[in-house]
Amino acid sequence: MREARRGALPHLMAGVLIGGGSRRMGRPKQLIGVSGATMAGRAAAALAGHADDVVLLGGGVVPPDLGRLPRLADAAGCQGPIAGVLAGLRAEPACGWIVAACDMPLVEPAAVAWLVGERRPDAIIVFPVIDGRVEPLLALYEPACRPLLELAAARRELALHRLARHPGVRCVEPPAGLRRCWLNANTPADLLELGFGS
């Protein structure tokens, strides 16, 4: 288990969420190939240079290109993305976590670098905001946000974007050239719209 460095921001871990049901896509999104890798693999590659380790979060099928990565099961007692984020925070409570969904085929390392650059000592979460909408996945969760997430899970308030109301949450607009990195693909039509075959 890592310890926070005195006078510095905590170490960073990175997690790719693979626990969703992919009902609208009709097949596991993390396994879908785009540009020579799976979507989950693209997310892991974008995260890799900005964290100590990359971990798969959730109980979904592991993509063949990510079989070497460690995996954490979803936190017990809740469901959805918050279960994956909490699993990471419980496993490495002294670390911040960059968490990405497995269905963002346009994600780039530059977007992750921008996100890491938005860390502040007084911010417990960094949420990108695009067109007025909070984006909780690809976002950054500091160790100090864990009590807030634990409380939300206990109350069955599972929508991560609602945490943006908390005064410790930093909500920031990404540069225009990076906004496409937060586009996700929930359906085969979404994939086609983003320029990938279904």
How confident is the model over 112-142, as pLDDT tens digits? Answer: 999 999 999 999 999 999 999 999 999 999 9
Q: What is the pLDDT of residue 6?
A: 42
Q: Mention every residue, 6+ apart, whose C-beta is less than 8 A from residue 116.
A: 12, 50, 98, 140
Which domains, from first to last, does the chain contain? 12-193 (3.90.550.10)
Single-letter code of the amino acid located at 8: A
**pLDDT grade for 192, boundaries at 50, 70 and 90:** confident
Residue 2 above 70 pLDDT? Answer: no
Q: What is the pLDDT of residue 4?
A: 47
CA distance 138 to 57: 13
| Burial state string for 115-151 with b = 16 or more CB within 10 A and e = fewer than 16 | bbeebeeebbbbbbbeeeebbbbbbbbbbbbbebbbe
